[in-house]
Amino acid sequence: MKINTRFTPTEACILIAHEAVSMLDAVQTAIPQCMKEFRTALEALATVHDLGKDGETLLAWLDTEIANAERFVTEGINLPYLIDMESLAVEPDAVAQMDLVWLLFETAAAEKCGPEQRQALVNTAQTITEMCGLGNLLMATLEPNVSKLAEGLNAELDDIRVGLQANAMECADSAQQEIH
């Protein structure tokens, strides 16, 4: 059995979206500046690697969670995440993080990327490796965990689809109740 040691672009996008949404949990007074860069990087990856519906789903999820965090900052209303953020049990090890960085840099080098997208991809690589402790992990990693992490990321994408669908139905129900 061959063990996967490389992320697909979709898995990389799920990880970026997951880390961005995780960061929103700490929001108290303002949305972190890196959120715009995370979103730009996610959009660039989705465009360059032609991720279609998966890319759209992840962007919609990130936009929804950013809007919810902004609502918390401005109105004090704390809305729950669309999915259980604790369901992804595997943290990216050094190999996984280096693979992600490589994919981000490879995407930044693509002709389709403009200067703002390139900068967002580079900054996202730096932010995620800082958040996930790449420096410390380089000294301790024994086995790559990309395969196990990728499995969890793909399951999370399924949860995101269900969460977005439920959120859309809830919004439609609220709008219909306001009409009556």
User: What pTM was computed for the model?
Assistant: 0.76
Q: pLDDT of 94-126, one tens digit each?
A: 778 888 889 999 999 998 899 999 999 999 988
CA distances from 148 to 3, 9, 72 (A): 9, 16, 34
Q: Would residue 3 count as lying in a domain?
A: no
What pLDDT band is residue 48 in, cutting at 50, 70 and 90? very high
Number of domains in the chain: 1
Domain range for residue 145? 9-179
Q: Would residue 128 count as lying in a domain?
A: yes
| Cβ-contact 16, 59 below 8 angstroms | no
Q: Would residue 4 count as lying in a domain?
A: no
The whole-number average pLDDT for the span 170-179 is: 75
Q: Would residue 131 count as lying in a domain?
A: yes
pLDDT at 118: 94
CA distances from 170 to 78, 96, 101, 177 (A): 16, 36, 37, 11
Q: Would residue 171 count as lying in a domain?
A: yes
Q: Would residue 2 count as lying in a domain?
A: no
Q: Would residue 124 count as lying in a domain?
A: yes
